[in-house]
């Protein structure tokens, strides 16, 4: 018995050491697990924080892009509205121009129809009508009727020639002056105007 107890006492320090090492190992393992758990929790929290920041940033960017898209859509609608208004205005202007042109053509046709024939008016009457016209074509047509009128006098032809010369209808003015000189060779003013115009056109 004493020998067994003595043997136990001899081995007791080793057993205590082994037990201490075992307990220390268990403690260290628990601490390691606790540290790992804390680290895992910290990493998880950090990752969640980063993900949260990224999500918040993405939401802010999406909201900003949505605002920009809304503004662009409003601008596009405004541009479409202005384009439609421009097209309508242009169409109205073209219709107005076409109507005005048609009215001018109609009035010019009426005016041409109203130009007197040789049998209705004298050459002096036709000259009076030519003086009242604003359209140079109408005045030229009336003066051409004076040129071909059978009752035209030298003075009528000379006045019509002066009118055509002022309107730069030089060929018609020459014809009127020449006929005025033919009808009255003694009419010096008509001859002077004829010579002056010929010198002007062919120096």
Give the total number of structural domains in the chain.
2
pLDDT(42) > 50: yes
pLDDT(116) > 60: no
Its pTM stands at 0.43
The SS3 of residue 185 is coil
Is residue 193 domain-shared with residue 136, that is, in the same domain?
Answer: yes
Overall average pLDDT of the 154-183 stretch: 89
Overall average pLDDT of the 68-93 stretch: 81
Is residue 140 domain-shared with residue 128, that is, in the same domain?
Answer: yes
Element (H, E) at 173: helix 170-183
Flag whether 149 is in a domain: yes
Is residue 137 domain-shared with residue 180, that is, in the same domain?
Answer: yes
Please choose, from the candidates 165, 128, 167, 170, the residue with its C-alpha nearest in 3D space to the C-alpha of residue 145. 128
Neighbouring CB atoms inside 10 A of 172's CB total 21
Q: Which of 64, 87, 114 is the last residue of a domain?
A: 114
Amino acid 27: pLDDT: 73
Amino acid 20: pLDDT: 67
Flag whether 166 is in a domain: yes
Displacement of CA 3 from its chain's centroid (Å): 119
- Which of left, alpha, beta for 176 (phi over 0: left; psi -120 to 50: alpha)? alpha
Instruction: Note down the domain range covering 89.
Output: 73-114
Flag whether 172 is in a domain: yes
pLDDT(118) > 50: no
Displacement of CA 115 from its chain's centroid (Å): 46
Overall average pLDDT of the 116-125 stretch: 69
Is residue 163 domain-shared with residue 104, that is, in the same domain?
Answer: no
> Which of 8-17, 134-143, 176-185 comes out lowest in average pLDDT?
8-17
Q: Which residues contact 55 (CB under 8 A, 6 or more apart)?
A: none
Is residue 106 domain-shared with residue 130, that is, in the same domain?
Answer: no
3-state percent helix, strand, coil for the chain, nearest multiple of 5: 85, 0, 15
Judged on CB neighbours under 10 Å (0-12, 13-18, 19+), 141 is middle
Overall average pLDDT of the 51-60 stretch: 79
Flag whether 47 is in a domain: no
> Which of 51-65, 123-137, 141-155 comes out lowest in average pLDDT?
51-65
- At 177, which CATH number? 1.25.40.10
């Amino acid at each position: 018995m004493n020998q067994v107890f003595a043997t136990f006492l001899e081995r007791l320090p080793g057993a205590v050491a082994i037990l201490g090492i075992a307990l220390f190992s268990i403690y260290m393992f628990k601490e390691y697990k606790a540290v790992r758990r804390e680290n895992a929790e910290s990493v998880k929290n950090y990752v969640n924080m980063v993900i949260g920041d990224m999500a918040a940033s993405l939401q802010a960017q999406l909201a900003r892009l949505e605002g920009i898209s809304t503004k662009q859509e409003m601008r596009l609608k405004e541009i479409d509205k202005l384009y439609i208004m421009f097209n309508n205005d242009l169409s109205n202007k073209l219709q107005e121009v076409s109507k005005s042109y048609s009215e001018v053509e109609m009035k010019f046709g009426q005016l041409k129809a109203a130009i007197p024939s040789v049998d209705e008016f004298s050459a002096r009457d036709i000259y009076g009508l030519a003086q009242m016209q604003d359209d140079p074509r109408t005045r030229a047509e009336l003066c051409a009727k004076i040129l071909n009128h059978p009752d035209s006098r030298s003075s009528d032809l000379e006045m019509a020639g002066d009118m055509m010369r002022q309107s730069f209808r030089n060929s018609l003015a020459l014809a009127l002056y020449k006929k005025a000189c033919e009808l009255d060779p003694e009419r010096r003013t008509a001859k002077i105007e004829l010579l002056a115009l010929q010198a002007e056109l062919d120096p």
